[in-house]
Amino acid sequence: MRYCGGTFSGTKSLLVAEETLVIGHRCTYKGRLPEESRVKAIENWGPCKDLSEVRAFLGTIGVVRIFIRNFAQRGTPLVYLTRKDIPFEFESPALRAIDYTSDSPVILAVDTSYIAVGFHLCQCDLENPRIRYYNRFSSITLNDRESRFSQPKLEIYGLFRALRALRLYLIGVRNLVIEVDARYIKGMLQNPDIAPSASINRWIVAILTFHFTLVHVPGTNHGPDGLSRRPRQPDDEDEPEDDFEDWIDRIHGFAHLVNPHPTQKVTRDSLVSIYTIDEPHPLATLAQVPEGEAESQDPPVDSYDIVPRSIQAIALDQRLLLVRDWHRTLERPAQFTDADYETFVNAIHTEHTNLSSHPKDVSIFCEHVTMK
């Protein structure tokens, strides 16, 4: 080292150290890693309120820029904020309204953590689906009770909150695609009775009022992941409890205009023609039918044979018919062997013993088994 011109300080030297901190970096045998305290400071950084805070944030995050993919592209909007000659605009084409006349899919991406529900709404380009035009970004923070939900309950609750927040924007969407990073949401929506819960079933009912296609996206490629980790800010508005509880009971309806157009001349004769029933009343028609013919007008009843059933269900139905016939005759069916018939009678005897409301039938069955 002396031959190469190296000079070292003995008090500052570290020999055979597993890990050491050098200018905001953790130097280990695996390579350089960001300092944990600096990462925590960046994660907990609130919204920048003035130019000085934007510059401070860029200076803090610039130390770890080598660990952030496409840092220059992602930091360009913040750099523009620090320049006086470039106005900052956050509107179209940065944000674009949903085109409800287009057949291109509208994507709602939702991610939920114990901190918040993050989601964004966008629409794909009609010619190139890889291009997305974003419409809204949002993050709904959770209270202490909601943050203690289990992870499956958090995911289904986050989807419910996102759909509820965007319900007015999703009316009229023809092709809605919901992206989530949890595979089990699809199973929970299709089988709500697996883990019955009044609150979860209520959320599922609200979710299923929308028509959508559920798509799983890996967490590493999920856009709203950062929005779901946004801590609560002082300016966040509280959720109105009354509107939250009654939303599913007050699903929006739309009325169809049936009255005459206001430009038309409304007369007494036109109103009478609208509200007059030309056909006789059903009760009056029924009163004119003879008593013997009234029953023939009942709608036909479908046969039970057309009801779709499994093979086991059909076998159980056939066994019930055998039990009914045996009750009438108390004779052994022809297809039963001695062993099968003994099992059959014992099963009926056990069932009637449990049903104390039929003591007479039970005594007959016991006498018949004794005779057998």
Pairing relationship of beta strands 31-34 and 25-28 according to DSSP bridges: antiparallel
Report the Cα–Cα distance between both ends of the chain, in Å, rounded: 108
Model pLDDT for residues 57-89, shown as the tens digit of each residue: 888 888 888 888 888 888 888 888 888 877 766
Average pLDDT value for residue range 96-107? 90
Average pLDDT value for residue range 100-124? 92
CA dihedral 113, 117, 121, 124 (to 10 degrees): 10
CATH 3.30.420.10 domain span(s) along the chain:
106-250
Cβ neighbours of 223 (radius 10 Å)? 19
Model pLDDT for residues 180-201, shown as the tens digit of each residue: 988 888 888 888 777 668 888 8
pLDDT at 160: 94
Average pLDDT value for residue range 207-229? 86
Cα distance between residue 176 and residue 93, in whole Å: 21
203 burial type by CB count under 10 A (0-12 exposed, 13-18 middle, 19+ buried): buried
CA dihedral 201, 205, 211, 215 (to 10 degrees): -10
Q: Indicate if the pLDDT at residue 158 is higher than 90.
A: yes
Identify the bridge partners of residue 20 per DSSP, sorted by sequence position. Answer: 27
Cα distance between residue 244 and residue 208, in whole Å: 17
Q: Indicate if the pLDDT at residue 242 is higher than 50.
A: no
| CATH number assigned to the domain covering 106-250 | 3.30.420.10
Which residues lie below 8 Å from residue 229, measured CB to CB, with a gap of 6+?
A: 43, 113, 115, 116, 118
Least confident range of 26-35, 237-246, 361-370: 361-370
Question: Of 59 and 277, which is predicted with more confidence?
Answer: 59
The chain-wide mean pLDDT, for the chain, equals 77
Report the sign of the C-alpha dihedral through residues 232, 235, 238, 239, in that order: negative
CA dihedral 29, 34, 38, 43 (to 10 degrees): -130
Which residues lie below 8 Å from residue 41, measured CB to CB, with a gap of 6+?
A: 60
Kindly indicate the confidence band of residue 254, based on its pLDDT and cuts at 50, 70 and 90.
very low
- How far, CA to CA in Å, does 75 sit from each of 71, 226, 229? 6, 15, 19
Kindly indicate the confidence band of residue 239, based on its pLDDT and cuts at 50, 70 and 90.
low
What is the total residue count of the chain?
372
Identify the bridge partners of residue 27 per DSSP, sorted by sequence position. Answer: 20, 32
For residue 352 the two structure tokens come to 């009637």
- Full-prediction pTM beyond 0.75? no
- If we measure between CA atoms, which residue out of 171, 270, 249 comes closest to residue 211? 171
